[in-house]
Amino acid sequence: MKVAVLAVQGAFIEHEKMLEKLGVECIELRKKEDLDKEFDGIILPGGESTVQGKLIKELGMEDEIKNKIKKGLPVLATCAGMILLAEEIANDDKVHLGLLPVKVKRNAYGRQLGSFYTEEEMKGIGKVPMTFIRAPYVEAVKCGTEIMAVVNEKIVAVKYNNMLAMSFHPELNESDKIHKYFVDMIINNK
């Protein structure tokens, strides 16, 4: 099994370390040609969604990433990655990949609560540590998107077919539960 990590900006190295810990081979997606390589899943990391969105467009990567996910490639999207994946952004008129049927709100916790840590249940996974950094949350889910976790009455994790997306950074804590769950999604997809 090989997992590709979008490595144009943001917290991609931490995801790679997590995959290494699980013994999963990973490759970095830095340019268009990297998308020709073989891989069984993709991680869209946290960072800055506007920068990431601009870069994947400029580097000519957007359409191919979109096609692959549309065709069923399992994706783990965290924080900015979730914004990239969302069909609608409440406080932005931009849409990037536009594949996940949710409306997300960027920087949704304001300045004061911009960053915080908590632990909460995630459906089918159990209690997981959650580190939020200038995080978005899901304002509304559409057509069959499953709610996976809720914190302070806000939806912070969702799943829709091959897409698992969350507001927080699972790669910044010791727990590898979410990455394991994602690896299982890949195995079940094969």
Interaction site with ligand GLN (CB under 6 A): 46-49, 79-80, 83, 106-107, 133-135
Is residue 174 annotated as part of the catalytic site, yes or no? no
167 is in an annotated binding site: no
**Is there a contact between 104 and 88 (Cβ–Cβ < 8 Å)?**
yes
Is residue 171 annotated as part of the catalytic site, yes or no? yes
- Write phi, then psi, for 42 (nearest 5 degrees): -135, 145
Please state the closest distance from residue 131 (CB atom) to ligand GLN, in A. 9
Among residues 14, 79, 96, 179, the one annotated as catalytic is: 79
133 is in an annotated binding site: yes
CA–CA separation, 148 and 50 (whole Å) = 25
Select 54 or 177, whichever has its Cβ closest to ligand GLN.
54
Is residue 28 annotated as part of the catalytic site, yes or no? no
Select 40 or 62, whichever has its Cβ closest to ligand GLN.
62
Among residues 16, 62, 87, 171, the one annotated as catalytic is: 171
Select 40 or 61, whichever has its Cβ closest to ligand GLN.
61
46 is in an annotated binding site: no
30 is in an annotated binding site: no
| Residues annotated as catalytic (active site), given as ranges | 79, 169, 171
Question: Annotated binding site, which residues?
Answer: 47-49, 106, 133-134
Question: Annotated binding site for L-glutamine, which residues?
Answer: 47-49, 106, 133-134
